[in-house]
Structure 1
Amino acid sequence: MSDWKLFTDAACTEEFGGTLTTVHKTNFSDNPQDFVLYFANVAGDPGDNQVLELVEATQPGTNYLTMSIVDANVGSGHEADEITLATTAAGLDTAIAGASLDLGQDDDSIGVIRLLSGVSAAQEIHVRVENAVPNEGTSTELSSAMVEAISRTKSTA
């Protein structure tokens, strides 16, 4: 799955370094702050032909690919439930903060839940940060995690 990465731009040229930089006011008047990341495999599909697919590893093509926020130090600093994930901007309004996000398209024609490679098939991941910590500082305890997945040549039937 190493070629599947998060990017900060829709053209998938700027790889996400792992840190969302937010500057929040201590009175929380600037809550929430929204961001968009793009999950794609560009290196393995430079022609943007959707030749590869990413599927969940335990039941390939049957289960959704799940992304979640992991808190390495629960009870200290920011908590995972300050982060909401959705596949659309509108989805942030109804998604549950701290909940995992199901990724992948259910291709009814072949019955496979997958993400396809290439820039044009990049999966948008909308992120909402609802700061609940009034102190200034840098938080490094939150990270993203994804279920084990397999990258393979695209299924056609």
Structure 2
Amino acid sequence: MSNAAAESSAPFSDGPVKNPTDGPIHEWFSLSYHNYLVLHRTLMQSMPTDWQLRLRACLEELEVAFAHLEHPEAFLVEAATEHEVRDLTNAQQFLLGITQDWFRGETPPEDLTGEDLHTWEAEHEDPDGPVYHRDGNELRASDRVLVPTLDSIPHYQRGRTYIPPRLPVAMSS
């Protein structure tokens, strides 16, 4: 949930909507560029039954409304942390297939070693820093990438995992 939505109990704007995509869902996503909403099954199954019934009804309504569209068979979802390319460790760069080019596409001659190699590198090193590449595409140092990590929310274990929600008093009754 967006921070603004979490911190505010005020309703979404109820004025006229100029574009049908500019409604409460657009506002909930805020200024993010996220294209999907991923929810932990463990957390949803841990919510009160009346909440689960409301969510289920909304999801079923969404499914019926767009049944006429072709949908992907599955999605690949994994927990991750977000980093700027410039802040990645060498191990993270390797994991993501990101390479650094400090020499503007040039490669030192194979016969250079020791001091001669260091001299060549100093003469050819890009003063603006490295250029990063991934899958044949150039990345800016400020580009943000996802590094896979462990998920801190436990697996639902066929419905056996329960995490007590901390609900405001009005929601828990």
What TM-score comes out, normalization by structure 1 length? 0.23
Report which of the two structures shows the higher radius of gyration computed on alpha carbons.
Answer: 2
Structure with the bigger percentage of helix: 2
Indicate the structure whose relative CO is greater, using CA pairs within 8 Å and at least 6 residues apart. 1
